[in-house]
Amino acid sequence: MRFCYRCGISEEEGGPLINGLCQVCFRKENPILLLPGEINTELCQNCGSYKKRGVWIDPQNYELDALIFEVAENALLEAIEDSLDKVREFDVVDWEELEEVEEIPVGKAFVAFRVLDYHIEHFPAIIVYEIRVKARIHELQVEPHDETVTTTVYIRQTVCPRCQKFLAGYYEAILQVRVEDREFTKEEREEITKLVQEKVDEIMQRDRMGFIQDTIEKEEGIDFYMGSTSAARKLANAIREKYGGVISEAYELVGLDRQTSKEVYRTSVTIRLPKFRKGDVVEDRHGRVYRVESVDGKGMRLKNLETWESDHFDWKTVKREKIDLAEHEERKALLMGQTPTEAQFMDMETYETFEVRKPKEKLEDGEVYKIVKVKGRLYIKEKEGGE
Ligand SMILES: [Zn+2]
Ligand SMILES: [Zn+2]
């Protein structure tokens, strides 16, 4: 007959013995949930991020109460995971669900936790948790481990490294938005700024340093001071995709890193928007006249003002065909009448009447059209106020 060496119970009564211990003493000698009574964690008071396994991440919740519980639960689960080193895996289940758990394979634990008490009106926020674990760690175990402990999580405020840099005015790159050979209009500036802001929100989900430190409006364009070079590049690409243009980069030595004594460069990413805009009148090397219908990353859609046929020209073709702004005069005129090939107009200012060769499309009598004159020849550009 064998006996438990700790409590003296016989194997018949308290067995089977595991390493000389009865079932109860084996569980007592080998507790599996060794949580500290106090767990400390912190969140960034500026952006709400917190550390998950040592890496700063953005929170799921931005509402403060929910955020505090999110941060506390993360710290609690990390502590539970660290303490459960006698099992290979564990599942987190609801408190009520754990009550029902009976069949537990060796090497597995089921964990549940609930809030006993909390004070989150000010920092440090305090949440008291009760944690219960059921587990089996030895194949001779009849009853599983069933342990309940309480711990208190303290959540303090700090400023994450990213926000420290942001608040100190740090930037790594400048995104410069410029235009080619023309004025940068207010509408365009607003559109680009909006696009940049939307894209930054997207980038920040992956690149925490992708923030805009500062935006500076200049006569020649807009400068965005960016926390990361890759974010500046992504933004330049997003702008090019939508509006076309050419991207270039320049580097400036700004000093030495005091810790690594490596040279530190600052990158300027410049996107130069194309010279052409929707509504421009352009001309190719053969003297064909077009109206620019749209501009994008690949090229532009041009409407031949003689035939009113429209086609997409990629940037290579635009260059090869020497398409450029056409010097022209523009006036508004009322359509008085038309034949299959001619349209009669009356100038809205001078009341002078004149004829213009018209495209096959039917025009609308009594409507006002914009008429352009290029190299002495008249073209119907578009209906006033229309596309
Ligand atoms: Zn015993
Ligand atoms: Zn932060």
Tens-binned pLDDT, residue by residue, of the chain (387 aa): 899 999 999 999 987 999 999 999 999 999 999 999 999 999 999 889 999 999 999 999 889 999 999 999 999 999 999 999 889 999 999 999 999 988 899 999 999 999 999 999 999 999 999 999 999 999 999 889 999 999 999 999 999 999 998 998 999 999 999 998 888 989 889 999 999 999 999 998 888 899 999 999 999 999 999 999 999 999 999 999 888 888 999 998 888 878 888 888 889 999 999 989 888 999 999 999 999 998 888 899 999 999 889 999 998 999 999 999 999 999 999 999 998 889 999 999 999 999 999 888 888 899 999 999 999 999 999 888 765
Protein residues within 5 Å, CB atom, of ion ligand 1:
4, 6-7, 22, 25
Residue 158 CA, ligand 2 centroid: distance in Å: 8
Structural domain 279-326, CATH architecture: Roll (2.30)
For residue 5, give the ligand nearest its CA.
Answer: 1
For residue 50, give the ligand nearest its CA.
Answer: 2
Backbone angles phi, psi at 64, to 5 degrees: -55, -45
For residue 3, give the ligand nearest its CA.
Answer: 1
For residue 47, give the ligand nearest its CA.
Answer: 2
Backbone angles phi, psi at 233, to 5 degrees: -65, -40
Residue 239 CA, ligand 2 centroid: distance in Å: 28
For residue 13, give the ligand nearest its CA.
Answer: 1
Long-range interactions of 52-61: CB distance < 8 A, separation 24+: 52/78, 53/78, 56/160, 56/161, 56/162, 56/208, 58/204, 58/205, 58/208
Q: What is the pLDDT of residue 387?
A: 52
For residue 26, give the ligand nearest its CA.
Answer: 1
For residue 24, give the ligand nearest its CA.
Answer: 1
For residue 28, give the ligand nearest its CA.
Answer: 1
* Other CB atoms within 10 A of residue 370 CB: 19
Spatial separation of the C-alpha atoms in residues 273 and 323, rounded to whole Å: 16
At the topology level, CATH places domain 327-387 in OB fold (Dihydrolipoamide Acetyltransferase, E2P) (2.40.50)
For residue 45, give the ligand nearest its CA.
Answer: 2
Residue 45 CA, ligand 2 centroid: distance in Å: 7
Q: Are 306 and 359 in contact (CB under 8 A)?
A: yes
Residue 31 CA, ligand 1 centroid: distance in Å: 14
Which one, of 56, 41, 77, lies nearest residue 154 by Cα? 41
Residue 83 CA, ligand 1 centroid: distance in Å: 24
Residue 214 CA, ligand 1 centroid: distance in Å: 69
Spatial separation of the C-alpha atoms in residues 374 and 26, rounded to whole Å: 98
Q: Are 216 and 226 in contact (CB under 8 A)?
A: no
* Other CB atoms within 10 A of residue 78 CB: 16
Residue 122 CA, ligand 1 centroid: distance in Å: 47
Q: Give the list of residues 6+ apart from residue 324 with CB closer than 8 angstroms, or none.
A: 275, 282, 283
End-to-end CA distance of the chain: 100
Q: Are 83 and 35 in contact (CB under 8 A)?
A: yes
Q: What is the pLDDT of residue 28?
A: 93
For residue 29, give the ligand nearest its CA.
Answer: 1
Residue 105 CA, ligand 1 centroid: distance in Å: 23
Q: 216 in the Ramachandran plot: left (φ > 0), alpha (ψ -120 to 50) or beta? A: beta
Residue 356 CA, ligand 2 centroid: distance in Å: 65
Residue 18 CA, ligand 1 centroid: distance in Å: 10
Residue 43 CA, ligand 2 centroid: distance in Å: 8
Residue 77 CA, ligand 2 centroid: distance in Å: 22
